[in-house]
Structure 1
Amino acid sequence: MTQSRLLRMDNVGIVVESLDDAIAFFAELGLTLEGRMTIEGEWAGRVTGVRDQRVEIAMMVTPDGHSRLELSRFLSPDVVADHRSAPVNALGYLRAMFAVSDLDDTLARLARHGARVVDEVVRYQDAYRLCYIRGPEGLLIGLAEPLGDQR
């Protein structure tokens, strides 16, 4: 008997208040809107455990086509918790990290969408320039510019 194996990671989900603002931010970062729709119905609640849900989603895809970000805005029921301002040492999901070709240009473009560097841009050996930013609604995003042979 063959053992089941992992095929891939399909997407990471983020719940937001403004789907339009989140789409604009991640499009500026370089992701492409793949589709947008409303998810509802009895089957959806059986998957998530949130009965009677009605959720508007947008699927964003990275330029290489390998990774996706599912942005969700709950229309019902109301959101029950808010983890957006949690510090980096809080338990649970922390952030998504994206590799970019030019960190300074990316930061300048994302600043127009309200993004701010959490502390500072640092250099990790000769491999990366790194920083964390707070994006729309305080979402924590990591950015890494590969250096030298990493490109």
Structure 2
Amino acid sequence: MATNKVLRMDNVGIVVESLDEAVSFFTEIGLKLEGRATIEGEWAGRVTGLGTQNVEVAMMITPDGHSRLELSQFITPPVIEDHRTAPVNALGYLRVMFTVENVDELVSRLIRHGAQLVGEVVNYENIYKLCYIRAKDGLLIGLAEQLNAGSAK
């Protein structure tokens, strides 16, 4: 019987329209740019199944160093679908959630960057303040502020 097991989750990948704008947005949230690179060639297409490709990638890292967000802007092949305006209950839809220190202050700053509050900031049982925002380019991002450190798991 196999004993392979997951060791960690390395990153979540998001395809973006503008890599520079996405890096700026996630920097505003508090992530740091770990590096940028161009990934191209037939070998990369063998991994993704897309054939020869040219993709600009930026790796963003959370302040604790445990989580990464890989932002990709495809040069070739062109993007063929756009799910950014799908509601949160759409099958296969991606949403990334970040724990932050002051959700109200961060939402105010992100709105100045063109983001929109999807619903409202809510208090969940005095454990978290939660909200969803949609970045200027349509990405759905969740924000959570832990209110009572002893109550959350």
Q: If the TM-score is normalised by the length of the shorter chain, which range does it land in?
A: over 0.9
Residue aligning to 2:62: 62
User: Segments of 4+ in structure 1 off by > 2 A?
Assistant: none
Where does 1:130-149 land on structure 2 (aligned, <5 Å)? 130-149=130-149
Deviations 1:10-61 (A, max 9, x none): 0000001100100000000000000001000111000000111100000000
Aligned partners of 2:123 and 2:82: how far apart in 1?
A: 31
- Aligned partner of 2:42: which letter? E
Aligned partners of 2:23 and 2:90: how far apart in 1?
A: 26
Specify every segment of 5 or more residues in structure 2 that has no aligned partner in the other structure, as ranges: none
Residue aligning to 2:89: 89
- TM-score (ref. length: structure 2): 0.95
Where does 1:1-150 land on structure 2 (aligned, <5 Å)? 3-150=3-150
- Aligned partner of 1:77: which letter? P
- Aligned partner of 2:116: which letter? R
- TM-score (ref. length: structure 1): 0.96
Aligned positions, number: 151
Identity %: 66
**Secondary structure in 1 matching 2:43:** helix
State the Cα RMSD in Å.
Answer: 1.3
Equivalent pair of 1:22/1:136 in contact (CA under 8 Å): no
Specify every segment of 5 or more residues in structure 1 that has no aligned partner in the other structure, as ranges: none
Aligned partners of 2:50 and 2:74: how far apart in 1?
A: 11
Deviations 1:44-88 (A, max 9, x none): 000000111100000000000000000000000110000000001
- Aligned partner of 2:146: which letter? P
Aligned partners of 2:149 and 2:98: how far apart in 1?
A: 18
C-alpha displacement at 1:2, in angstroms?
6.3
Aligned partners of 2:2 and 2:49: how far apart in 1?
A: 31
